[in-house]
Amino acid sequence: MKVEIWSDVMCPFCYIGKRRFEQALQLFAGKDQVEVEWKSYQLNPDMKTDTSVNISQYLADAKGWTLDYARNMNDHVTKMAAEVGLTYDFDRAVVANSFNAHRFSHYAKSEGLGDATEEALFEAYFTLAKNIDDKDALADIGEHMGLNRDEVLAVLATDAYTDDVKRDIAEAGYLGIQGVPFFVMNGKYAVSGAQAVPVFTQTLETAFSEWSAAEGNSLLKTANGPACGPDGDC
């Protein structure tokens, strides 16, 4: 059964949602028959990469918040991340457009490294304070995962995989997705946001049961949780 996950590298709830989904999947009896496919989504496609400010300052400036308020918001999300074993460092996080990171993830996916790439990109952005728009930084990530560094740089020097990223985003629009993370299971059941583990478990069981019986339709039935979106706080 296929599980499609729309996410953005710079979405804090996407990393948290990934962990919660993984926890649910580990508890799921049919996990060996589940195929996970990551899909691209951009929360802020017009964001300009700026290494001179951190994400808290960017949010304060972009949304008209005080810097203290932005930091408090990020502190709250940092505590949520810690609950699932993740370390966020918003004070060092680099403001960066995620489009090149999405192109890189599509290339890595073509090499069979889809899930590993998403994990590495999330860690690079939220924990290691890497510039995910920098092609050398992306090549370093690829090399660490076993990809050829020169090949990664060659791919990123062109517009390769641009259409793949845009196709994912267009598909999200067609499905009515307005925030991420967004999980679609068996093309029918959806979980929106970083839901609690039991929600993922229940949705997996329902979708898998219908998939096993070769049933289902194209209508999405959605459970909603914390997410990033155009009107959100991240």
Is residue 161 in a domain?
Answer: yes
Tell me, what's the pLDDT at 229?
75
3-state SS class at 204: helix
230, part of any domain: no
Q: Within a domain: residue 12?
A: yes
Residue 219 has pLDDT above 80, yes or no: no
Residue 33, in any domain of the structure:
yes
Tokens of 20: 């919660």
pLDDT at 217: 46
> Is 117 part of any domain?
yes
Give per-residue pLDDT as tens, 141-160. 999 999 999 999 999 999 99
Which tens digit of pLDDT belongs to each residue from 202-214? 999 999 999 998 7
**pLDDT grade, residue 221 (50/70/90)?**
low
Q: What is the pLDDT of residue 218?
A: 45
We report the CATH number of the domain holding residue 67 as: 3.40.30.10
pLDDT tops 80 at residue 1: yes
Pull the structure tokens for residue 133.
């728009």
Cβ–Cβ under 8 Å, residues 74 and 67: no
In a domain, 233, yes or no: no
Other C-beta atoms closer than 10 Å to the C-beta of 73 total 19
Residues 24-50: pLDDT tens digits?
999 999 999 999 999 999 999 999 999
Please report whether residue 234 resides in a domain.
Answer: no
Taking the CA of residue 101 as centre, how many other CA atoms within 13 Å lie in the half-sphere pointing to its CB? 32
Q: Say how many domains are in the chain.
A: 1
What integer pLDDT is reported at residue 224 of this predicted model? 74
Q: Give me the chain's average pLDDT, please.
A: 94
pLDDT tens digits along 39-98: 999 999 999 999 999 899 999 999 999 999 999 999 999 999 999 999 999 999 999 999
Give the gyration radius of the chain's Cα atoms.
17
Question: Is 7 a domain residue?
Answer: yes
HSE toward the beta carbon, residue 92, CA cutoff 13 A: 11
Residue 56 structural domain:
2-44+51-224
